[in-house]
Structure 1
């Protein structure tokens, strides 16, 4: 990354629409050199990282991008294919904002690691390191599932660096999570990273890499500790037994408002009405499904997403991991017939009958798992990559084969010519 100490920060601020004076003051604490940080500064640095995810970071659409591209979310106009071709352009502003935003947070995380390593044995430094390694893994998971090959930056640099192969990035993610698992314990609430949060992300990573036995074991270890709960509790900020980790997304500091994109101005909490559920998505929900009422609502004759209820009145938590995903990971990883029990456990709690007769082929079982993932995890940023990782994206979405990866943003390639471009997107 060319001049990463400066370029990512300034590009991100410009892309996000921040004015210079006020926001340079606001983010100035992130520019403190690690060598100048004292142990007493570590809590503020930790909170700064959490704040960056919640203040927009890679942009609000990055948190629903896989639903937009995966056929769950439609815009006001144009076809689904138009939407995909527009989003998957190297000139698309959302591509640049998300790339710059992820590296902007990575810059802070790397600084925090370097600062915390100066205080071995300190409980505050241990916590900071555990959280940082989790966040570094999470950031790289977000990036490798979008762009594939990515530069692995274990520390910040002012030099241009090329991208590392995706396989090495996945290895790095697992290494970071192993470090996090060694350092983290329980947390005071699910709005802070914990050992369980690292287990949940590792289960997701293992499944993505086809390491199914390990994925199932990790998921099962959390199913015994967490319990499926009512959707109304999960998505209405009530105490619940399901969430493993979420960003609290406090109103006073957050620019991350998913609900504002989903509700229309006719809704009592107001919204821009930018995105709506697709007909294809609505068709996979039955009236018996207890998730349906919280997932969707009808206002002035329009069906709207309803998982995030605040509209323009506030901000909603953004869930990263919850135990329902672990049921689905375990089911998929165990496969047919062993995984059917976990799939039916989830269905029963959500008001659906057990799948009967049982699927007689592996494809039929995977179809059932993918349908359940779609219903359970809609607007939680899974669908597009679920289709990519299972080899279904080209057929089900009608995309070109190269569109299973995002293009490298043009602005980033100007800053660093060594990045190159993903195949199919030109030079």
Structure 2
């Protein structure tokens, strides 16, 4: 499948607009376009796939929503929410209502993206043979990624009780075009959702080529799939599979660490380290991490303010502890200072951290020994090298390196650590099924405590 530039979404919008204007007077009086016309050609299906990428770039999905929800819900006084949005304040205080619009919009927009993918997968017979594998692989990657976020946010974490009976999220795997009561699906179990996630990602990994043009863009590549697989395996406690997937990405040599920590968060200097990201341009896309984490001097709202408790975690020489700015006596992360900066989803540093943790837990040295992997990142950060490691050291290194990038809560949950006074499996750390969905779909059951 042909890869486009950073203006792909804007281009896709223009193409759709031009098509719509071609015969302005020849308009059929229909509310929706018949599917045989909407997805009649290979190009139609590819444009729909572009729409699926645009769907996950939504500010409520991978364009920031899942990440800031994760960081606010997993916070223990290391940040403070000082904004005026009561919806985000509820999340930060762990007192979310079932009518919270951020919560409900994240659910809705996630399923919108999934439905676009389902339309593509249902129309693969229309795709040119040369492109079919790539189109299917990219589609399955998107669906697997979104379901992974959904089940982590809206259900009990993997291993918290019986995965085969704990309720996950509805699995919708076919297109929804005209909504009827037949579309009211119950929640699949956590185990069933993870099975689908792995099925999509493993198939995507096999379908996408080992090397791919545009590998540093916001499009799925084999390494992007493998990196997310590593994250899924780590959440499941499958350390051997997590280690091997991370090692596969590292040893592919398709990516390299940015020379400086600051460079990671520049679209140009950080290109080599980002394995998958959400593209943002001045024409399309919103970086909601900038919106809420960045100061007003960097065109953000300055709502999420870093506290002394977090800053005290860094060693004096660690440049990561200096990657902040103080504006009006409030401290803000500089990771998202660029309003039009791309939103990182997974980067190479995480793969080194995963390989180190998994090797340490298993007593193995696949790819490298854990000390070497950790020191690689510490050296870049200007911190003193460490000759002796503990699991706590590795987990702290992961926390500092990936701070505010949307992994805080899930790392606490998978390692069964508390969030302040709340245990890892406290019901307040699980998002409620939106009341709007419960009212519409009588098959849905609400999470405990709501």
Short-chain TM bin: 0.7 to 0.9
Give the match for residue 427 of structure 2.
Answer: 402
* Contact 2:150-2:169 within 8 A present in 1 as well: yes
Mapped pair 1:91 → 2:99: yes
Structure 1 residue aligned with 2:45, among 39, 42, 47?
42
Q: Is the 8 A contact 1:331 1:342 kept in 2?
A: yes
Q: Residues of 2 paired with 1:74 and 1:236: CA distance?
A: 26
Alignment partners' CA distance in 2, 1:329 and 1:32: 46
2:304 alignment counterpart: 275
Q: Which residue of 2 aligns with 1:144?
A: 151
Q: How does 1:45-194 map to 2 (within 5 A)?
A: 45-58=48-61, 60-71=64-75, 72-76=78-82, 83-85=91-93, 88-119=96-127, 122-148=129-155, 149-157=168-176, 158=179, 159-185=183-209, 186-191=212-217, 192-194=219-221
Name the CA shift for 1:83/1:182 in 2 (closer, same or farther; >3 Å): closer
How far off is 1:286 after superposition? 2.5
Cα offset for 1:100?
0.6
**What is the SS of the residue equivalent to 1:303?**
strand
Q: Does the residue aligned with 2:36 lie in a helix, a strand or coil? A: helix
How much is the aligned-residue C-alpha RMSD, in angstroms? 2.7
Question: Which sits farther off after the overlay, 106-115 or 400-409?
Answer: 400-409
Aligned twin of 1:198: 225
CA distance in 2 between partners of 1:392 and 1:165 (Å): 24
Higher fraction of helix:
1
TM-score by length of 1: 0.83
Sort the Cα spacing of 1:382 and 1:342 in 2 relative to 1 into closer, same or farther, 3 A: same
Equivalent of residue 331 in structure 1, options 325, 335, 356 = 356
Match of 2:320 among 279, 291, 302: 291
Give the distance between the partners of 2:189 and 2:412, measured in 1 at CA.
21
Q: Residue 315 of structure 1 corresponds to which residue in structure 2?
A: 340
1:385-417, CA deviations, whole angstroms, 9 ceiling, x for partnerless residues?
A: 110111113566567722342211111111112
User: Aligned-pair distance for 1:34?
Assistant: 4.6
Does structure 1 retain, via aligned residues, the 8 Å contact 2:60–2:102? no
Change (3 A) 1:351 1:106: same
User: Which residues in structure 2 correspond to 1:171-250 (within 5 Å)?
Assistant: 171-185=195-209, 186-191=212-217, 192-224=219-251, 225=253, 226-229=255-258, 230-239=260-269, 240-250=271-281
The farther-off stretch of 144-153 and 246-255 is 246-255
Distance in 1 between the 2:448 and 2:118 partners? 30
**Structure 1: how far apart are the matches of 2:309 and 2:423?**
14
SS in 2 for 1:319: strand
Aligned residues: 386
Task: Decide whether the 8 Å contact of 2:70 with 2:409 is kept in 1.
Answer: yes
Partner of 2:283: 252
Superposition map of 1:408-427 within 5 A: 408-425=433-450
Pairing 1:263–2:263 present = no
String of CA shifts for 1:332-379, please: whole Å, max 9, x gaps: 2122555343223322222222334x24xxxxx232122111111112
For the 8 Å contact 1:388–1:404, the answer to whether it is kept is no
More displaced 10-residue stretch of structure 1: 43-52 or 172-181: 43-52
Partner of 2:11: none
Instruction: Write out per-residue CA displacement over residues 48-107 of structure 1, whole angstroms, 9 at most, x where no aligned residue.
Output: 1222222425374333211111215321179x9965445533222111011111011111
Q: Is the 8 A contact 2:239 2:358 kept in 1?
A: yes
Cα 1:380–1:261 change in 2 (3 A) is same
Change (3 A) 1:399 1:320: closer
Gaps of 5+ in 2: 1-15, 22-31, 156-167, 365-369
The structure-2 alpha-carbon separation of the partners of 1:405 and 1:262, relative to structure 1 and needing over 3 Å to count, comes to: closer
d(CA) in 1 for partners of 2:425, 2:194? 24
State the SS of the aligned residue for 2:126: coil
Q: Is the 8 A contact 1:64 1:381 kept in 2?
A: yes
- Could you tell me how far apart the structure 1 residues matched to 2:123 and 2:288 are? 32
Shift of 1:204: 0.6
Give me the whole-angstrom Cα distance separating, in 2, the residues matched to 1:212 and 1:263.
35
Distance 1:402 1:138, change over 3 A: same
Q: Residues 387 and 368 (structure 1 numbering): CA distance in 2 closer, same or farther, change over 3 Å?
A: same
